Structure 1
Amino acid sequence: MTVMHTPTSTGAPSGLDLIRREQSRQVADAHATWNDPAQQQRAQQIAESLRQPGAFLLLLGMGASHHANSAALAAYRSVGISALALSLDEALSMPLPPNAAQVTLLVSQSGESGELRTFLKQSGTDLGPTFGLSLSPESYLVRQLPSLVAAGGSEVGFAATRSYLLTLVLHGLILRAYSPDSAHTDLPALDGEALDLSRFGQVRSMVFAGSGALAGLAAMAALGTIELGRFPALHYDLGQLRHGPLELLSPETSIVLLRRSDETDYERQTAESILKAAQAAGCPSLSLVAEVSAPPLGLLTAPLKLCLPVQQLVIDLALQRVERVGEPVRSSKVTR
């Protein structure tokens, strides 16, 4: 399958140009955010709230922000924080009972989503300590709540690339502030890799899967594939994929597994059984493995290290299929 990509007739940056600009500065912005004393101080404030007796962490977001929260969830739990990640839609439809010990993080790269505004208006004074995480320093969210704000300003490109990485970094700041063992930790290496996707050119649907923190990145990959490539993509926790969904395997469906080099026996055996089933079905498959040894940020390290390769994978899949990648037909960057 070959798709021609033409520049915009107005000479304005194309959607793909905007995405690539975000990608080109995301690593620099990640390090600027990580080393910003103001953000470190705010992270200490959030960490202090999480140290209070009975503290419970609720992570709320929509779209890519929710998937970044899901990726961070395992890392919070691994340092002893009771934590839950919900979409704002679920929080609005099925509110949790009031809990004075609840610490809420509202996460939105734009700080302007409609669900975010509705949640804050409906919640009133029922919330305990509440903070924001955003990329947009002038946004509604940052005006309403004490917030961690990543470097570089709002993301302009349609699909989440830079914003997803920076949201993970903001979570990392909180984890570093909370855990004394991570006080002098630096970010892991953030880089991409070239992938041969020629065997994926004819597939008509994608499945992404990962365990724990990587399940959140798998969800982000599926969302990006739908947004940019405009073809079906599903995401599953690794084990859930074995409970029925293997029936969709065929030469026209591709599976991408996101894995860690230090995966548990359960995770390794589960991945191997899925790959065996994929091979028997003639299903193109790919494993992306994060090399992790004594991870400085615990379970957040793997999604940080695989973030850029997954970004490029999603964009390359879209380039095989769509002429004007990054130029939405029915959606917008900020869903108000």
Structure 2
Amino acid sequence: MAEKRATEGPAAPGLAVLHAEMARQNRDAAAAFDAVRPDAARIAARIRALGRVTLLGMGASHWANRMALFAYRKAGILAAAEVVSEAMRQPPAPGGVILLTSQSGGSGEIRAWFSRFPDNEDQYGLTLNRDGFLARTAFSLVAPVERERAFAATRSIMVTLALHAAILDALGGGDLAAEIAALRALWQADAPPPAPPAEAIVALVSCRALVLSSRMPVHAALEAAALTFIELARVPALALETGQLLHGPMETLSPGTALVLARPAGEDAATLTRIAQAAVGLGLKPVLFDLSGGAPVAGAVTICLPSRQGLAAQATLLPAAQRLVIEAAAGRVGEGFGTPLRSSKVTDGESP
């Protein structure tokens, strides 16, 4: 695979930088939500008028879009989330709004998209960079916060979720008002995620590969965590929605594999409990983030989180999962942790 080419300077390395990013993600998300609401209403009105939205992004921006996807559908919108590099190589969906997400606003795929589709007036951006290409090219929601310094995305994912939440708040529909109220209360409380137990970190430090799984919508937070682990630990990680895990990839589970599960509230909790129990029987010590309020699973490392649903559940799970994979990656890499070897903070996957 071709090495990614940088489009701007290197990111700041190190565990301390990542801790600083995560420590402010709730406050920055709350500030972003409040600041962009007037512009978000304009985008929401157009989405409501057309009834369709396609969320496009790369890397962590794509996983942030996936976190928001479920809520757009709850609002009665025909919504899809795709990576830009795939979407630009197929005919665009007819009609509807396109939301392009890019923390830097300067990734190569975003530039390539507009070179191919420059004339669509229903294209909008979500970004953290007012001076970036995306904000200069399309009407954009710009989070009024400092851009992220660390290589692996943490704070920017939560802030991007806040930009989506502002649009969703203006859209209304379903029970989104209650979801967004819970999300804002979580941000305003600004409580740090629980410290991961030492045995959970050890499981990820010593593994040959990592598998993560849950049900939507909270599974999207694990997809983001998988990317963080891959980037920082340089170890394969596979995030599979629980149904996909059960359709064959359970074959990968062995004592050399680490398994991270998230047990959501509701009817899907029982399935995640059974998978955790099955993993214990295979000789694994799975890590189970529990948002259901259920009993711990014998033989698993259970990390209890507040029982929340929807957007608030994702915003609860995301920083907890981030903290686990980051601490484990730091334990694996040691010196040079957080300094990319083959990638950069802002990349151009469209260059040869």
TM-score bracket, shorter-length normalisation: 0.7 to 0.9
Distance 1:35 1:194, change over 3 A: same
Match of 1:165 in 2: 158
CA contact (8 A) 2:262 2:289 kept: yes
- Aligned-pair CA distance for 1:272: 2.4
TM-score of the pair, normalised by structure 1: 0.88
SS at match of 2:262: strand
The 2-side partners of 1:335 and 1:232 are apart by 20
Q: How much identity, in percent, do the aligned residues show? A: 38
Q: Name the stretch that deviates more: 213-222 or 65-74.
A: 213-222
Equivalent position to 1:303, from 299, 308, 314? 314
- Residue equivalent to 1:274: 275
What is the TM-score normalised by the length of structure 2? 0.84
Q: Which runs of 5+ in 1 are unaligned?
A: 1-11
23-32 or 102-111, larger mean C-alpha shift: 23-32
- Partner residue in 1 for 2:341: 329
Distance 2:261 2:12 in 1: 33
1:222 equivalent among 207, 226, 234: 226
* Deviation of 1:136 (Å): 0.8
SS in 1 for 2:210: strand
- Per-residue CA shift, 1:37-59, capped at 9, x if unaligned? xx10011011101221x421100
Compared CA separation, residues 139 and 263, structure 1 to 2 (3 A)? same
Corresponding position of 2:28: 29
* Equivalent runs, 1:161-310 vs 2, <5 Å: 161-179=154-172, 182=177, 185=181, 187-190=184-187, 191-198=192-199, 199-200=202-203, 201-260=205-264, 262-264=265-267, 267-290=268-291, 291-293=306-308, 299-310=310-321
Count of matched residue positions in the alignment of Structure 1 and Structure 2 = 312
Q: Which SS does the other structure have where 2:329 is aligned?
A: helix
Tell me which residue corresponds to 1:320. Answer: 331
How far residue 128 of structure 1 moved from its aligned partner, in angstroms, is 4.8
C-alpha separation in 2, matches of 1:83 and 1:13: 35
Q: Is 1:292–1:301's contact at 8 Å kept on the other side of the alignment? A: no
C-alpha distance in structure 1 between counterparts of 2:252 and 2:237, whole Å: 12
Deviation string 1:82-119 (CA, Å, 9 cap, x unpaired) is 1000000110222334x23x111000001000011000
Q: Do 1:108 and 1:133's aligned partners in 2 also have CA atoms closer than 8 Å?
A: yes
Q: Which residue of 1 aligns with 2:116?
A: 122
Q: 1:144 aligns with which of 137, 140, 148?
A: 137
| C-alpha separation in 2, matches of 1:63 and 1:70 | 11
1:43-62 equivalences in 2 (<5 Å): 43-52=40-49, 54-62=50-58
| Letter aligned with residue 315 of structure 1 | I
Give, in angstroms, the shift of residue 15 of structure 1. 2.7
Separation (CA, whole Å) in 1 of partners of 2:257 and 2:307 = 29
Q: Give the root-mean-square deviation of aligned CA atoms.
A: 1.9
1:64 Cα deviation from its structure 2 partner: 0.1
- Gaps of at least 5 residues in structure 2 are 1-10, 292-305
Q: d(CA) in 1 for partners of 2:287 and 2:20?
A: 27
Q: Match of 1:5? A: none
> 2:15 matched to 1:16?
yes
SS at match of 1:330: coil
| In 2: Cα distance, 1:90 partner to 1:23 partner | 30
Does 1:67 find its partner at 2:63?
Answer: yes
Distance 1:13 1:131, change over 3 A: closer
1:151-175 CA-to-partner distances (Å, cap 9, x unmatched) read 3132110000100111111111111
Q: What is the CA distance between 1:212 and its match in structure 2?
A: 1.2
Return the alpha-carbon distance in structure 2 between the equivalents of residues 258 and 73 of structure 1: 18
- The alignment partner of 1:279 has SS state of helix
- What whole-Å deviation, never above 9, does each CA across 1:163-222 have from its counterpart, x for those lacking one? 011111111111111117629836142530011143413222111112112222111111
* AA at the equivalent of 1:61: G
Letter in 1 for 2:222: A
For residues 15 and 229 of structure 1, what CA distance do their matches in structure 2 show? 12
Identify the residue that residue 9 of structure 1 maps to in structure 2. none
